């Protein structure tokens, strides 16, 4: 079952036109799904550290407010969880910290009243207290 | 029930329905959420 789910989301991400503007919502939902599957089920086979790092390199997500807020909140949860794959894989940890820096930069550039939010209010406050 | 819903999402992901962009991103979102919440 995990393999089929991973194949489905990877297929969406690997399409030649995946990062064209009209496909970004599907692509970012698929990237978010791949990250969530990695956090919970990374096994080094179906889901590898490389899969997680490749998703983290694509953050922040900005196309779908719901996916952006959810994916970034869960990333923060993972960073604060000592047992998370984020904290037990050096490469993933580095990529996660870099993702947080890009999220911070994006929030600054968006200003106080953005059209599309990438963090809800609680996680905007949390962003400043993350130890990255 | 969550497992049943996850199973349905998997079924949809392998069907023609998933070729539609709205369905594809909904299924991707759902698979991520279910995958994150379901135990290994």
CA distance linking residue A14 with residue A51, whole number of Å: 12
> How confident is the model at residue A30, as a pLDDT?
94
Residues of chain A with Cβ-Cβ distance to B40 below 8 Å are 40-41
Residues of chain A with Cβ-Cβ distance to B28 below 8 Å are 8-9, 12, 26, 29-30, 32-33
For residues B18-34, give the mean pLDDT: 86
- Could you list the beta-strand ranges (E) of A38-132: none
Say whether pLDDT at A53 is over 90. yes
For residues A21-36, give the mean pLDDT: 94
> How confident is the model at residue B2, as a pLDDT?
65
> How confident is the model at residue A105, as a pLDDT?
96
CA distance linking residue A126 with residue A121, whole number of Å: 9
Taking the model in full, what pTM does it have?
Answer: 0.91
Higher pLDDT, A38 or B11: A38
Which residue in A1, A36, A67 is closest to B36 by CB distance? A36
Say whether pLDDT at B3 is over 80. no
Place of tokens 């889901």: A47
Give residue-wise pLDDT tens across range A98-113.
999 999 999 999 988 8
Say whether pLDDT at B1 is over 70. no
> How confident is the model at residue A81, as a pLDDT?
95
Q: A103, A60 in Cβ contact below 8 A?
A: yes
- Give chain A's contact residues with B (Cβ, < 8 Å): 1-2, 4-5, 8-9, 12, 22-23, 25-26, 29-30, 32-37, 39-41, 64, 66-67, 70, 74
């Amino acid at each position: 079952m995990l393999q089929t789910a991973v194949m489905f989301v990877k297929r969406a991400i690997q399409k030649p036109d995946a990062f064209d503007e009209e496909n970004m919502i599907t692509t970012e939902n698929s990237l978010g799904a791949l990250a969530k599957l990695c956090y919970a089920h990374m096994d080094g086979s179906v889901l590898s550290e490389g899969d997680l790092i490749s998703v983290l390199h694509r953050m922040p997500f900005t196309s779908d407010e719901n996916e952006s807020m959810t994916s970034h909140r869960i990333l923060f949860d993972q960073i604060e969880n000592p047992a998370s794959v984020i904290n037990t894989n050096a490469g993933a940890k580095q990529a996660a910290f870099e993702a947080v820096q890009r999220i911070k930069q994006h929030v600054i550039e968006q200003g106080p009243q953005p059209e599309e939010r990438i963090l809800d209010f609680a996680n905007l406050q949390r962003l400043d207290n993350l130890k990255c | 029930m969550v497992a049943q819903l996850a199973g349905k999402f998997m079924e949809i992901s392998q069907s023609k329905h998933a070729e539609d962009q709205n369905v594809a991103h909904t299924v991707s979102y759902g698979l991520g959420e279910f995958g994150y919440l379901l135990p290994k």
